[in-house]
Amino acid sequence: MSDNVKRRDFLGYSFAAVAAVGGAASLVAMKQTWDPLPSVLAAGFTEVDLSNAKPGTPSTVTWRGKPIFILKKTDAMEQSGRDLVIGSDRYTVAIGLCTHLGCIPAWKDEMWKCACHGGEFNSSGVNTFGPPPRPLDIPPFSVKGTVIVLGEEGPEYKQMAQA
């Protein structure tokens, strides 16, 4: 009699375990359905030709829906370990989204000022005032001559990301 009870328990628990495994597998699959599509992940490469950049005036390009600030530094602007150095030219390449809450800062008086909560970034993209917790993020990029390809991680990017 007690053997029958134990077998029923064991069967019950095993069945519950099987159901749980099925449930967990379903949740994993659902999580994956929520993932960004492969076409979205793949489409993230943009080429930018730096040779036309005017020193001292940043330009903005779009990469993966985000604004990317590109600034060719004038000789007067301070040098930084974050600079992209190509020949004798120094560039700031940064994602143009304030690291506080994601608004786009505007270039004014030799710095990027964010209208949302007053954050300020200098010409190297380093946060100098206000709530932003860190400098402007650097997008992954690789260098081919005077053209940079946003989306690929080149050695220059890896070095700048450390600075």
Residues forming contacts to other proteins in the complex (CB under 8 A) are: 34-37, 40, 44, 60, 62, 64-67, 100-104, 115-118, 130-131, 133
Q: How far is the CB of 150 from other proteins (least distance, A)?
A: 12
Nearer to other proteins, 36 or 145 (CB): 36
Comparison of 36 and 155: residue with beta carbon closer to other proteins: 36
**Using CA atoms, how far apart are residues 90 and 55, in angstroms rounded to an integer?**
9
The CB-of-81 to other proteins minimum distance in angstroms stands at 22
Tokens read off for 30: 């659902």
Q: How far apart are CA 73 and CA 77, in angstroms?
A: 6
- Scan for tokens 């949740």, then name that residue: 27
Contact 151, 44 (CB under 8 A): yes
Q: How far is the CB of 100 from other proteins (least distance, A)?
A: 7
- Whether 69 contacts 48, CB under 8 Å: no
Residue 90 or 100 having the CB closest to other proteins: 100
Alpha-carbon gap, residue 6 to 76, rounded angstroms? 84
- Least Cβ distance, residue 27 to other proteins (angstroms): 14
Compute φ and ψ for 86, nearest 5 degrees.
-125, 110
By beta-carbon proximity to other proteins, the closer residue of 53 and 90 is 53
